[in-house]
């Protein structure tokens, strides 16, 4: 009988330097180049009759891979957006302030023509934004809980960014086999050393009931010294972003100042 839904990580001991994995059941050494798990999964299935299910085989319908055939109704919403959704998009996507939305007669007229009653107070506009944020947070948390309850794990990627007002943020993304879920922007105040970066990541993951040590298998980021130390000081496998490395190489060659 094939054993189902057994945790995959406990069956192997991974050697990062040699890119090999030792089976804890029969001590066989298997190749795992490029962090590939295909040979490990096939070994468990053929030698030990342990079937490792793909994550999407055990989760809800909305997280399963979608059909390649896209119907025309997929491009249209079945229901009208709420006022909170529209105002949240004006703030987060278009970059409008609460005062601009509340005091603009043009925006107010457009909202009225579309059947919305726009509040006149910037505080009420902010309340709608907070309401939409809490709703989105609840939806994302439910999706993450569904995946973790089925024994699946995640990878994370992050990078630092600055706004036009020179405010620094950390962008954090959660990667699953079939999806990429943004976990929001984390405000960074002051200098960000490795210890602070680890603390910020742990704090944000905890909002979704995730633990950096047990639920995250790998981290992906650029090659900055702080980030590389982040990878050494945390348990997940750290992978340097190849796209970032290629970008630095292109800039170094294309924009190098002419030597005298």
Rounded distance between C-alpha atoms, residue 118 and residue 114, angstroms: 11
For residue 211, what pLDDT band results from cuts at 50, 70 and 90?
very high
- In angstroms, the first-to-last Cα distance of the chain is 73
Which tops the pLDDT comparison, 73 or 174? 174
Which has the minimum average pLDDT: 56-65, 67-76, 109-118? Answer: 56-65
Indicate if 162 and 241 belong to the same structural domain.
Answer: yes
Write down the pLDDT at residue 260: 44
CATH number of the domain that residue 181 is part of? 3.30.420.40
Tell me, yes or no, whether 70 lies in a domain: no
Which tops the pLDDT comparison, 14 or 171? 171
Q: Could you say which of 104, 125, 143 is where a domain stops?
A: 143
Write down the pLDDT at residue 78: 57
Rounded distance between C-alpha atoms, residue 123 and residue 242, angstroms: 44
Tell me, yes or no, whether 187 lies in a domain: yes
Write down the pLDDT at residue 94: 87
What is the average pLDDT value for the chain, to the nearest integer? 81
Write down the pLDDT at residue 61: 47
Instruction: Copy the structure tokens of residue 258.
Output: 């002419």
Indicate if 82 and 109 belong to the same structural domain.
Answer: yes
Share of residues in the chain with pLDDT > 70 (%)? 83
How crowded is residue 233: how many other Cβ atoms within 10 Å of its Cβ?
A: 12
Tell me, yes or no, whether 65 lies in a domain: no
Indicate if 20 and 108 belong to the same structural domain.
Answer: no
For residue 219, give the 3-state DSSP assignment: strand
Q: Could you say which of 125, 143, 161 is where a domain stops?
A: 143
pLDDT (average), residues 7-32: 76
| Residue carrying structure tokens 């007002």 | 165
Tell me, yes or no, whether 69 lies in a domain: no
Give the helix ranges, DSSP H, for 93-224: 98-103, 105-113, 122-148, 194-206
Q: pLDDT per residue over 117-158, tens digit each?
A: 888 899 999 999 999 989 988 988 998 998 888 888 999 999
Tell me, yes or no, whether 148 lies in a domain: no
Axis crossing angle, helix 225-233 with helix 194-206, rounded to the nearest 10: 60
Contact 238, 231 (CB under 8 A): yes
Indicate if 225 and 167 belong to the same structural domain.
Answer: yes
Q: pLDDT per residue over 147-205, tens digit each?
A: 888 888 999 999 888 887 788 999 999 998 878 888 988 999 888 899 999 999 999 99
Tell me, yes or no, whether 128 lies in a domain: yes
Reply yes or no on whether the pLDDT at 11 is more than 80: no
Reply yes or no on whether the pLDDT at 90 is more than 80: yes
Indicate if 31 and 83 belong to the same structural domain.
Answer: no
Q: pLDDT per residue over 95-109, tens digit each?
A: 899 999 999 999 999
For residue 71, what pLDDT band results from cuts at 50, 70 and 90?
low
Which tops the pLDDT comparison, 153 or 12? 153
Contact 194, 226 (CB under 8 A): yes
Write down the pLDDT at residue 259: 47
For residue 82, what pLDDT band results from cuts at 50, 70 and 90?
confident
Rounded distance between C-alpha atoms, residue 109 and residue 150, angstroms: 49
Nearest to 221 by CA among 210, 205, 236: 236
- 12: Cβ–Cβ under 8 A, 6 or more apart, which residues? 21, 22, 23, 24, 30, 40
Write down the pLDDT at residue 160: 87
Rounded distance between C-alpha atoms, residue 238 and residue 158, angstroms: 12
Share of residues in the chain with pLDDT > 90 (%)? 27
Indicate if 229 and 186 belong to the same structural domain.
Answer: yes
pLDDT (average), residues 16-38: 79
| Residue carrying structure tokens 């794990």 | 153
Number of domains in the chain: 3
Which tops the pLDDT comparison, 51 or 111? 111
Write down the pLDDT at residue 4: 40
Tell me, yes or no, whether 117 lies in a domain: yes
Indicate if 39 and 119 belong to the same structural domain.
Answer: no
Rounded distance between C-alpha atoms, residue 205 and residue 199, angstroms: 10
Q: Which stretches of the chain are assigned E, i.e. beta strand? A: 3-4, 12-15, 20-23, 29-31, 50-51, 154-162, 168-176, 179-188, 216-221, 237-240
Q: What is the CA radius of gyration of the chain?
A: 23
Indicate if 118 and 170 belong to the same structural domain.
Answer: no
Tell me, yes or no, whether 35 lies in a domain: yes
Indicate if 158 and 104 belong to the same structural domain.
Answer: no
Q: Could you say which of 143, 167, 196 is where a domain stops?
A: 143
Indicate if 129 and 180 belong to the same structural domain.
Answer: no
Q: Tell me the residue range of the domain where 115 lies.
A: 75-143
Indicate if 186 and 229 belong to the same structural domain.
Answer: yes
Indicate if 161 and 224 belong to the same structural domain.
Answer: yes
């Amino acid at each position: 009988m094939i054993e189902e839904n057994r945790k995959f990580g406990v069956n192997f001991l991974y050697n990062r330097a040699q890119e090999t994995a030792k089976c804890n059941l029969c001590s066989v050494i298997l190749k795992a180049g490029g962090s590939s798990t295909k040979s490990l999964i096939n070994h468990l299935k053929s030698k030990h009759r342990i079937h490792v299910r793909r994550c999407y085989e055990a989760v809800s319908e909305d997280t399963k891979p979608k059909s390649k055939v896209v119907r025309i109704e997929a491009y249209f919403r079945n229901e009208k957006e709420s006022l909170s959704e529209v105002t949240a998009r004006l703030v987060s996507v278009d970059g409008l302030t609460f005062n601009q939305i509340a005091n603009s007669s043009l925006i107010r007229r457009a909202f009225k023509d579309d059947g919305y009653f726009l509040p006149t107070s910037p505080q009420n506009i902010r309340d709608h934004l907070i309401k939409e944020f809490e709703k989105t947070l609840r939806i994302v948390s439910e999706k993450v809980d569904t995946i973790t309850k089925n024994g699946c794990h995640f990878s994370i990627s992050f990078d630092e960014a600055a706004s036009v007002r020179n405010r620094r943020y950390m962008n954090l993304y959660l990667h699953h086999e079939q999806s990429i879920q943004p976990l929001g922007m984390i405000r960074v105040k002051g200098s960000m050393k490795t210890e602070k970066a680890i603390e910020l990541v742990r704090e944000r993951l905890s909002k979704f009931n995730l633990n950096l040590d047990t639920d995250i298998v790998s981290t992906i980021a650029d090659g900055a010294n702080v980030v590389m130390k982040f990878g050494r000081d945390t348990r997940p496998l750290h992978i340097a972003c190849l796209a970032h490395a290629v970008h630095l190489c292109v800039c170094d060659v294309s924009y190098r100042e002419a030597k005298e």
